[in-house]
Every structure is written in C-alpha cells, then in structure tokens.
C-alpha cells in the first residue's frame, strides 16, 4: 500500500453574509442549497440557526488493538528496546492483515457503494505496522486519509524497563488498584484517561465538521478506524460511555489484532450491541447494567 499523507481533506464551508439587524427573526438563504433557514438573533447579536445541517455521523467507530508484538511474547524486549520501537512479530503481521479483511467484509455487508475508511493511529511502531497491514485490505480509493495521534499511545511504564522491578510494580498495582496506580516515571490509567479525554474532544470536533469527508461528499457510510493499544482502547471506551472506575477495572484486554465495533444504533447513539453479542461483551467485562445502557 502506498504511503498515506497525514494531510486532511477538508470540505469547504460556505460563508453566510447577514443583512443588518432588523428584527428578532430573519431569513437567510443558504448559498449552497435552495433552502431557507430561520434564525433567532438574541440581544447580543448572536445568530442561532434552528436548522443547522451537520455532516452525517460515521456509521462506525472501529477500535483495533495492534497485532502480537515482540513485547507480548518476551517482556525482556522492553529492557533492550524502547517501548515506542517494539515491532510486531510475524504472527502479529498476519493478525493485522487478517484484521483488515475482517473489517472490509464487515463494511461490505452494508451493501453501500460509497463507503470509505479513515484511520487514527498511535505513533508506536507496533501500531503503525498494524495499520500498514490492515490497510492492505483496502483499495487506495477507499482510504480517505489518516492521522497519527500521540494521545493514542500505550500507557507509559517508564523508560527502559527493569524486568524484576516491573514484576514488583505490577504486584503493587494489583494491591493499589489498576486505574490509579502510577508507574515510576510513567503513567497510571487515570493519566491515560486525561489524554484520551482530550482526544475524544478532537474526535467529536472532527465528526461534527466532517473533517474526514472528501470535498463535496456527505456520505453516511464513513467508517473511522482507531489503531491503538489494549489499555488505551479500554480507557477510550470508559470515557466514551462514561463507565465508572469500578466498571473499568472489571474489563479484560482485547486480543491482539482484534476489533471492538461501535456502530450507530436506531436512535443515533453508538452501541457495542449493534455488532457484538451480549455474551461477547460479558466476556469483555461488561456488567448487566452496562449492557442495558448499550441497549438504550
């Protein structure tokens, strides 16, 4: 697959020229369509459009955990190689390629002709290698673009890791709590939550303005793919669905090269139950209360 630029294709937005204030209610004719929108002008001259048309929301947000890495099979790798430079194994490369085909077949079942994908990816090597192999399943015309996003990186465990010290630290984390325990010179899951909160706001803004939509297109068949790491993706789901710390600590890691699919339900919200069964989500760690929320 050819190297993708991180430059975004942005749709141009028409500029509205308002007449001088004459009354609390005026009419504006949009220059890009033959529709009249009614607006309310408050005492501060702030215009509120009652029929603002936003770009269609993506059909899915697909979370991908990177394929098997050298660190997954040998924790000693972290003593020799910096975490951002840990590569995929041969098995991990195959897992990533298979993941790409799984995603493509899932999207094709919609029966839409205009579907596209847009990628957000962690800058860590194992995530970028996963993206490269996932992307091989798609023709270039189907890939709108990508953004490398540092806030999607793995939880920081410190710099070069000492194997024996990591055993001690992980034992301490078990006693202290998986969410709040901070590794020396590293992060806690709570720290990851803070940066994922910032990423979520960026993602929401991108969705609201249709930043990943090709110029002139407003397709409801866009699919966002986020390629990241196990804990980071669990925190992303926690932040999106407003799960509690206790609920987060009951979650299990996704398998390497697997997907978690958030799909638009009938009410417009993204639900895990649109793609996954209740039993699959229970295995992931969702409680009955969390499943009920997904049904809403």
Known binding positions for substrate: 65-72, 126
Strand order across the beta sheet in which 25-29 lies: 25-29, 36-41, 47-49
What token pair was written down for 240? 């999106």
**Where is the binding site, in residues?**
65-72, 126
- Residue 276 catalytic? no
**Of 198, 216, 214, nearest to 8 (Cα)?**
214
- The C-alpha atoms of residue 139 and residue 80 are separated, in whole angstroms, by 37
Helix H or strand E encompassing 189: helix 189-209
- The C-alpha atoms of residue 27 and residue 130 are separated, in whole angstroms, by 51
How many Cα atoms occupy the beta-carbon half-sphere of 67 within 13 Å?
Answer: 23
Residue that is written with structure tokens 């003593």 in the block: 79
What token pair was written down for 188? 């806690």
183 Cβ contact list (under 8 Å, min separation 6): 155, 156, 157, 158, 169, 173
Among 154, 187, 229, 263, the one annotated catalytic:
154
How would you class 164 by CB atoms within 10 Å of its CB: exposed for 0-12, middle for 13-18, buried for 19 or more?
A: exposed
What are residue 38's DSSP bridge partners?
27
- Residue 66 catalytic? yes
Going from the C-alpha of 219 to that of each of 144, 175, 203, 214, the distances in angstroms are 12, 49, 17, 9
What token pair was written down for 40? 């309310």
Q: What is the DSSP letter of 5?
A: P
Among 66, 95, 149, 229, the one annotated catalytic:
66
List, by residue number, the catalytic residues: 66, 154
């Amino acid at each position: 697959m050819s190297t993708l630029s991180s430059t975004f294709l942005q749709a141009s937005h028409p500029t509205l020229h308002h007449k001088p204030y004459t009354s609390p209610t005026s009419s504006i004719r949009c220059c890009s369509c033959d529709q009249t929108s009614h607006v309310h002008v408050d005492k501060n001259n702030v215009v509120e459009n009652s029929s603002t048309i936003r770009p269609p929301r993506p059909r899915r947000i697909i979370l991908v955990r990177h394929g098997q890495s050298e660190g997954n099979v040998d924790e000693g790798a972290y003593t020799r190689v910096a975490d951002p430079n840990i590569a995929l194994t041969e098995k991990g490369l195959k897992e990533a390629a298979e993941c790409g085909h799984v995603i493509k077949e899932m999207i094709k079942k919609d029966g839409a002709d205009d579907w596209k994908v847009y990628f957000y990816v962690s800058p860590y090597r194992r995530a970028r290698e996963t993206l490269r192999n996932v992307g091989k399943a798609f023709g270039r015309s189907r890939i709108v673009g990508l953004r490398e996003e540092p806030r999607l990186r793995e939880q920081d465990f410190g710099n070069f890791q000492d194997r024996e010290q990591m055993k001690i630290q992980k034992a301490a984390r078990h006693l202290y709590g998986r969410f709040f325990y901070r590794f020396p010179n590293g992060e806690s899951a709570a720290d990851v939550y803070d940066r994922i909160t910032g990423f979520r706001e960026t993602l929401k803004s991108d969705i609201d303005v249709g930043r990943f939509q090709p110029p002139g297109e407003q397709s409801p068949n866009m699919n966002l793919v986020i390629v990241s790491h196990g804990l980071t993706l669990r925190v992303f789901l926690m932040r999106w669905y407003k799960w509690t710390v206790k609920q987060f600590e009951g979650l299990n890691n996704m398998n390497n090269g697997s997907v978690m699919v958030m799909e638009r339900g009938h009410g417009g919200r993204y639900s895990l139950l649109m793609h996954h069964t209740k039993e699959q989500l229970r295995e992931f760690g969702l409680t009955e209360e969390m499943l009920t929320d997904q049904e809403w």
